[in-house]
Amino acid sequence: MNEARLGVDVGGTFTDLVALGGGGLITAKVPSTPRDQSEGVMNAVEASEVEASSLLALAHGMTVATNALLERRGARTALVTTQGFRDVLEIARQNRPSLYDLAMDRPPPLVPRDLRFTVEERSGPDGEIEPLDEASLEEVVSAVREAGVDAVAVCLLFAFAHPEHERRVGEALREALPEVHVSLSSEVLPEFREYERFSTTVADAYLAPKLAAYLENLAGKAEEAGLPSPLIMQSSGGVTGIDDAIADAAGCVLSGPAGGVVGAAYVGSLGGYKDLLTFDMGGTSTDVAPIISGEAQTTTETVIAGVPIKLPMVDVHTVSAGGGSIAWADAGGALRVGPHSAGADPGPAAYGAGGEEPTVTDANLFLGYLADGTELGGQVVLRRELSEKALTALGEKLGLEAEDVALGVVRVANAEMTRALRIISVERGLDPRDFALLAFGGAGGMHACALAEELGMRTVLVPRAGGVLSALGLAISDIRRDYVSPYLSPMDGVDAEEFEKRFAEMESTAAQDLTDPEHTRRADLRYRGQSFELTVDADTPGKLEDRFHAAHEQRYGYSMEDEAVELVNLRLISTVPVEKPDLEEPEASGGAESGRREANFDGEWIEVPVLDREKTGQGSEVAGPAIVEFRESTCVVRPGWSGKVDAVGTLVLEKGDE
């Protein structure tokens, strides 16, 4: 394959690769290497047998930053802040995480009390109130030196509008401690509301040293192998170069899930489906996300491991339920599923690796959705008799037969998934019935038709590349950088020249950062007095208000045409688009039915055809009840559903009229 683009995605268990070029698609899957994720990346490249010198690009999604946050294994980090405000990071928004569990605290702040230092200075809404005291700055610099930290976050009040003091503090720290990483809040996130800005900046400082070490190591290996310099997936759904990724460490925490959403948007659009809810069900967790008009949506409301990071990130909602979720009987005699998971070790009872409690996977196996004896990753073999044993044991506690337990586990798990899908649709003002459900991940296709029925959705899409959709998303991601300029003003006081000047400044910065970028201008607005903003397109200031009213109507169900509207931020998204090849699905090779087996639908055992997705092709038809086995996953086509494989290889299922 010549002139191919590579996408390599590191997941918890496997590292996936997709090579895309000339209408063709090559995939590879190798075990992940958690200690140094870059080893798995190089193994995947080797396994794919692509010619290194012929590659156009190597895009990479990883979980290094996410894991460092989750496990609190980032750099030893200090905070320098305004006198009188030492504890903003710890007080947070002063709400407790659980209403009734009074012992539960928020996750500890990334910077402990003894590493939080204050300088004498103060700015307010109109600029400097108290000058920066050089003597107190000197004291802080030596205190930071003595603390022996690897990174420092400088977060001063009102620095989003008046960054002069922060810059001076940053300069002094960089001069005195050249080996220490320094992040300034006015650079990382020049937006008002101090807690969220401080939190984002501290995360940036906390992650930067680790991320730098990892990415520089990866870059070295890539160069050695003659590969292009890697592009790194950011949380926003666009890729960027190594240096920029390091400079924007906090923007990499959703590097992993972003690829999946971008891949889903791409595959959906190719088949003509632009409004989607994505449903990525894996072993321990499930990600759902809305895609509107072919575009992954972004939000700045993301909180990861208790740390708000207010940078644009793909809008993904994660629930901790998946194939490995354990079913149990609670003290009130109800059947419950999760939140505990059997994970990969010991795994579901069917693995025979010590797991004795039934999981969602065990229920799917018992019901015939998965085949008895299926091999997973060439290592584990699923054994139905073990699932049955575990389901029977649970059934004794509930007074139910194994079959009813299995059906119940699937129904209870589906009820949880339905709630997750409602959250990302209904709560955002979207009606799920206007969307198609795009299912991927190991277990997505098994539950999709049932979920669609619950939500009144009539179309389910199961892409051929469902097992490697994240890697596919990486391969076709545009290069992207985000810029923001705070501009707090009532709309009727916005100066058109100033408006233009600020965008022009950002665009000229972007032109230095990127080669021939395309720009999208956007703006955050709110009704006066509101404490949240909505982002709308902002090519000219003239149309902003109308767009804002319309966006408010869409999102919140009403608008207030008489209320004063305020401008809060100007945003620039600069992209260098990459060419997105079409996928081509070959014609069916004939004889797709690989066998028949008994499967249970709503309590009835039916002998259904089992189709091998590798032997079906463009135009192949399927009518439920049936099972379609993909290379890495299984799709259950419920009674009443039918469809066919489209020109890009997506199995499109439609619900018939009842």
3-state secondary structure 564-591: CEEEEEEEEEEEECCCCCCCCCCECCCC
- Closest approach, Cβ 97 to other proteins, in A, equals 9
Report the C-alpha gap between 149 and 276 in whole angstroms: 45
Which positions touch other proteins (CB under 8 A)? 84-88, 90-96, 98-106, 113, 124-125, 129, 157-158, 160, 192-195, 329-336, 398-400, 404-405, 407-408, 411-412, 415-416, 418-419, 422-423, 426-427, 429, 488, 529-532, 555-558, 560
Give 250 or 413: the residue with its C-beta nearer to other proteins.
413
Report the C-alpha gap between 322 and 466 in whole angstroms: 16
- Closest approach, Cβ 107 to other proteins, in A, equals 11
Give 334 or 381: the residue with its C-beta nearer to other proteins.
334
Give 153 or 207: the residue with its C-beta nearer to other proteins.
153
Give 85 or 580: the residue with its C-beta nearer to other proteins.
85
| 93, 106 contact by CB (below 8 A) | no
Residue corresponding to tokens 């079913």: 327
Q: What is the H or E stretch that residue 365 is in? A: helix 360-366
Q: What is the H or E stretch that residue 405 is in? A: helix 402-425
- Closest approach, Cβ 640 to other proteins, in A, equals 14
Q: In this structure, how many other beta carbons lie within 10 angstroms of the beta carbon of residue 205?
A: 30
Kindly give, in sequence order, each residue whose CB lies less than 8 Å from that of residue 559, ignoring residues fewer than 6 positions away.
Answer: 549, 550, 552, 553
Report the C-alpha gap between 405 and 391 in whole angstroms: 6
How many residues can be counted in the chain?
658
- Closest approach, Cβ 124 to other proteins, in A, equals 6
576 phi and psi angles, rounded to 5 deg: -115, 100
Give 586 or 603: the residue with its C-beta nearer to other proteins.
603
Give 150 or 191: the residue with its C-beta nearer to other proteins.
191
Report the C-alpha gap between 260 and 466 in whole angstroms: 9
Give 333 or 493: the residue with its C-beta nearer to other proteins.
333
Give 371 or 452: the residue with its C-beta nearer to other proteins.
452
Give 23 or 529: the residue with its C-beta nearer to other proteins.
529
Residue corresponding to tokens 């998204």: 573
- Closest approach, Cβ 405 to other proteins, in A, equals 8
Kindly give, in sequence order, each residue whose CB lies less than 8 Å from that of residue 299, ignoring residues fewer than 6 positions away.
Answer: 312, 313, 314, 315
Residue corresponding to tokens 């019935």: 433
Report the C-alpha gap between 378 and 623 in whole angstroms: 30
- Closest approach, Cβ 470 to other proteins, in A, equals 29
CA dist list (Å): 516 to 62, 297, 574: 27, 24, 9
Report the C-alpha gap between 531 and 537 in whole angstroms: 20
Closest by Cα among 475, 538, 535, 483 to 514:
483
